[in-house]
Amino acid sequence: MTSPRKQEMRNEDLGIGRRTFLGTSVAATLATGLLAEPSTANPAKKLDRANKPGRTQHTPFAVNVEMWFGNKSFLEKINLAADMGFPAIEFWPFANKPLEEAAKLLKERQVAVAQFTAWGFGTELNNPYYDHAPFEAQIEKSCDVADQLDCSLFTVVIGNDIPGVSKKDMHAAAIKGLKRVAPICEKRKKTIIIEPMNPRNHPKHCLYGSADAIAICEAVHSPSVKINWDLYHMQIVEGDLCMNLREGFDNVGYIQLADNPGRHEPGTGEVNYTRVFQEIQDLGYDGYVGLECRPRESDLLAAQRVFDVDQW
């Protein structure tokens, strides 16, 4: 897809947004009973910043329940996301999570699962001497979990550096493994989203930035292998967020974010996320945007900041 403003703002300064925010704690709001109504992804619903900030004006967000809602249980976090009006959640590995109960609760609360992590950090997928059979088995299992949760996306992390192995060889090994499982995902209508990291949060990792991620996707050459385009990582590694997203959009499978510095919610750092959300809309992206960020003060205030930034 191409943006209707494809030639505009190449030299745009993303700038630093400064805003004043109001909010109260989630606990105080819950105590009033104002968050009792089930959530919905219906954009026609009346916007309610105070009590349902997850019902944003333009962008459908998936709140990352690993980084939001403190030490609550997985099921409690689903309820809290629904109470705030978020249409979707995302999470990390599915092991040890009550998936059967979660699937039922998600349906009851009308909350979708945008994506989860199928394959985390390690040195297996990117190892030239690795068989990839366990990786294939994990992808099959992840397809089963995705079916259970009515989800079509899951993240695969390429891997950490392997001493004595070049980046080129690590990427070639990952491409080999991804080619092995791509037909499985194509058949089952699932999409792997590989995630480039940043060296500040993930030192000694083998995949940073958009260029190498795009090269891996193009080498695999499957509609079921795309990029988890995390704008927080991209800001640290390469910046120029709107232009790089525009140029790499054909390979985007999912978008995540956090502001920088701090990895908190939009509106707390240097990124003009209102402008970025406009670009995402102009590009025709119609998926969820993952809030893989840690609320700076409280969950409710973070959600209200996201609500404010998504208006123009």
- 217-257 per-position pLDDT tens digit: 999 999 999 999 999 999 999 999 999 999 999 999 999 99
Element containing residue 225 per DSSP (H, E) = strand 225-230
Could you tell me the two tokens for 249?
A: 């959009």
Tell me what pLDDT residue 42 has. Answer: 46
Summarised one tens digit per residue, pLDDT across range 158-205 is 999 999 999 999 999 999 999 999 999 999 999 999 999 999 999 999
Biggest distance spanned by C-alpha atoms of the chain: 59
Three-class DSSP category at 52:
strand
Tell me what pLDDT residue 27 has. Answer: 39
Closest CA to 116 of 68, 151, 76: 151
Summarised one tens digit per residue, pLDDT across range 21-54 is 333 333 333 333 333 333 344 444 579 999 999 9
Tell me what pLDDT residue 31 has. Answer: 36
Euclidean distance between CA atoms 106 and 100, whole angstroms: 10
Tell me what pLDDT residue 104 has. Answer: 98
Tell me what pLDDT residue 46 has. Answer: 77
Could you tell me the two tokens for 217?
A: 């996707």
Give the pTM: 0.85
Least confident of 15-29, 59-73, 82-96, 151-165: 15-29
Closest CA to 242 of 4, 11, 1: 11
Can you say whether the dihedral through the CA atoms of 45, 51, 56, 60 is positive or negative? negative
Helices (H), the chain: 26-31, 74-83, 99-109, 133-148, 167-188, 210-220, 231-237, 241-247, 273-283, 299-309
Summarised one tens digit per residue, pLDDT across range 135-152 is 999 999 999 999 999 999
Euclidean distance between CA atoms 258 and 256, whole angstroms: 7
Backbone angles phi, psi at 102, to 5 degrees: -65, -45
Compute the average pLDDT of residues 5-31: 37
Compute the average pLDDT of residues 102-124: 97
Compute the average pLDDT of residues 1-12: 40
Domains annotated on the chain, with CATH: 61-309 (3.20.20.150)
Closest CA to 36 of 84, 102, 108: 84
Contact between residue 153 and residue 254 where contact means Cβ atoms under 8 Å apart = yes
Compute the average pLDDT of residues 197-217: 98
Amino acid identity, residue 89?
I
Tell me what pLDDT residue 60 has. Answer: 98
Tell me what pLDDT residue 45 has. Answer: 52
Contact between residue 81 and residue 39 where contact means Cβ atoms under 8 Å apart = yes
Three-class DSSP category at 311:
coil
Residue 299 has pLDDT above 50, yes or no: yes
Contact between residue 213 and residue 249 where contact means Cβ atoms under 8 Å apart = no
Euclidean distance between CA atoms 256 and 248, whole angstroms: 15
What are the distances in angstroms from CA 243 to CA 2, 3, 255?
Answer: 12, 11, 15
